[in-house]
Structure 1
């Protein structure tokens, strides 16, 4: 009996020990899960609004490449994207929803999002909004863009050296200063090496419409163009050029994969470093509203690798002029510059101000086309 009592006592103690150990074992995973949830909730939420699909091969694709760079550089943040958001009222709804969901930084990547951003920003003063290519700011709204006209000028040199017909086609989106500025810079580059060349412009009034943009490219080829440039978000114009055995200048991202036999080079965006710098500044509490317009020396704009059809002497010519831009020895919009009517708009030795470039509403000499009202 005494032995049985001792055995029972030992068994009871053993069961109690195991039970306590079991309770302790249950608590540990809960604590770890709680820490994980806390870590997740502490992640800074950053959102991106795109006007086209990420797979457009152009503008939205370039922005998303920048976002991916940001995620790789700052894995402690959480990003959200919303694709194919129409400009206007629908974008206001999307941006509002992103703010409501706890995103503390929202990048609105298209010109037509500007007014909706300003409206939403007034309701969410603790959220930082960045609007790409616009001009309206607020205490919690900044604008950002790059001096793409510098890269445009350089691609114009390539086009001017390549054309045999002296007709270069340009498929253009909307008649806003950004697009007009790009056409003018490209034309100045073309005529710096080929004064006889003309740049023929066709408007599509679209940012992303593969079929319409390709058709516009075809119409320019039928009009005698043997090089096709573009301010569009799809590689359609480049594909049209390749199908006709002609050449092209891509835009937004390196478009050579979509038309390898046609693309001489592309004027490209490199948003990644800007996104990293901006998010870091917000996290550190040093961000202030500004109108960022980065030059080629910042790396935010540049050129894609040259195609194998571009001669070495042309590559060297472009590299030399690029270095002059970086060093500040050359500026694209330095006079003398005449408009289509032959009237001098920028005197010799004078350089257009940023305000003048940002409001451009006329074409330089050498452009064949009109600007719709």
Structure 2
């Protein structure tokens, strides 16, 4: 079960946390395995953090009586994250999941100080003997959303509300554009960055700006339903991101790119209970493993569009039609993937440029 009293205690007294020396670290005590989760936003009822919390709940359902989970929500990236992660380790948690890219350095630092605790960091790349990384191939959901957008857009102008210009987000933008241009070669994507994972006000304003510039289908890489709500107000289309957001814009949501973190969380916890778990670097689950999908296809989608989504989904799963199949060129026309070749994961993970069809420049890029 979830220790909500602990959640409230940490939320109120985080700044006063007393740090224990490394020698005071306790190994997992007898009884249920204590599993901690650190969230960058509020759990709410939609989005990135909500999807992670669904995964946490899946762990509780899969191992009744064998685990005790704790979650801390709305933890800022930086010093606050380090204090929270350390608090979980000190409090006897044998396994800690930190669920945002900006928690990377804090998680690594604490992991080195608590060698008997296992840590898992989402979307990062720094590891240790007791720290592994994991991610979901969200670009596969973004590509399928792009296929739908390309079919449903009347103007051929698409918009994306971006969070931070890191490879994870740039990859999703490119995949969305590739999906759209696979059915409408003239489609283009414009991006507005809000430099936040969760800021409904900024997300809404960015969405309204994109719509005013002529975009009629929006995607986001942010956590709130503000983009979908703005699209509904203006009679445009958008997608649920990370979870189904249909309730916030039923007339606007074409579909939802939904993450299932429970696939990985239940696997890790099961192996921890068996004593067989070993951290891995860059576990990357996708459609094939059931970790991502484009779900809740809207009633406004014609049957042929739904059928096309099913075909493209299967092509990604069986490898016959990968998302980043060449020939692919960047904005300057330089070939980045040759014809008939699929971009390797190393290059996907380092993606820092826009592909053809995306307008503007990557912030901080050359």
Instruction: Compute the TM-score of the two structures, normalised by the length of structure 2.
Output: 0.90
Contiguous gaps of at least 5 residues in structure 2: 1-28
The equivalent residue for 1:64 is: 53
Per-residue CA distance 1:44-103 (angstroms, 9 max, x = gap): 100000000001620000000111111111112100000000001110010000000000
Q: Could you tell me which of 37, 42, 45 is aligned with 1:48?
A: 37
Structure 2 CA distance for aligned equivalents of residues 111 and 56 of structure 1: 21
**Greater fraction helix:** 1
C-alpha RMSD of the superposition: 1.0
Structure 2 residue matching 1:257: 3-state secondary structure: helix
Larger Rg over CA atoms: 1
Structure 1 residue matching 2:97: 3-state secondary structure: strand
Per-residue CA distance 1:188-231 (angstroms, 9 max, x = gap): 00000001111111110010001110110000000001111110
Structure 1 CA distance for aligned equivalents of residues 186 and 113 of structure 2: 54
Offset at residue 273 of structure 1 (A): 2.2
The equivalent residue for 1:354 is: 345
Runs of at least 4 residues off by over 6 Å: none
Offset at residue 298 of structure 1 (A): 0.2
The equivalent residue for 1:126 is: 116
Q: Could you tell me which of 267, 292, 308 is aligned with 1:317?
A: 308
Matches within 5 A, 1:107-186: 107-186=97-176
Deviates more, 1:312-321 or 1:322-331: 322-331
Structure 1 CA distance for aligned equivalents of residues 216 and 231 of structure 2: 8
Structure 1 CA distance for aligned equivalents of residues 30 and 136 of structure 2: 34
Structure 2 CA distance for aligned equivalents of residues 222 and 87 of structure 1: 32
The equivalent residue for 2:320 is: 329
1:337–1:345 contact (8 Å) kept in structure 2: yes
Matches within 5 A, 1:1-373: 42-55=31-44, 57-75=46-64, 76-290=66-280, 291-373=282-364
Name the count of aligned residue pairs. 334
Offset at residue 285 of structure 1 (A): 1.5
Structure 2 residue matching 1:55: 3-state secondary structure: coil
1:211–1:236 contact (8 Å) kept in structure 2: yes
Per-residue CA distance 1:159-201 (angstroms, 9 max, x = gap): 0000001111110000000000000011000000001111111
Per-residue CA distance 1:282-338 (angstroms, 9 max, x = gap): 121211121200121101111121011111100000100101111121211111001
Structure 2 residue matching 1:42: 3-state secondary structure: coil
Structure 1 CA distance for aligned equivalents of residues 353 and 35 of structure 2: 38
Structure 1 CA distance for aligned equivalents of residues 202 and 104 of structure 2: 26
Structure 2 CA distance for aligned equivalents of residues 270 and 333 of structure 1: 22
Instruction: Compute the TM-score of the two structures, normalised by the length of structure 1.
Output: 0.88
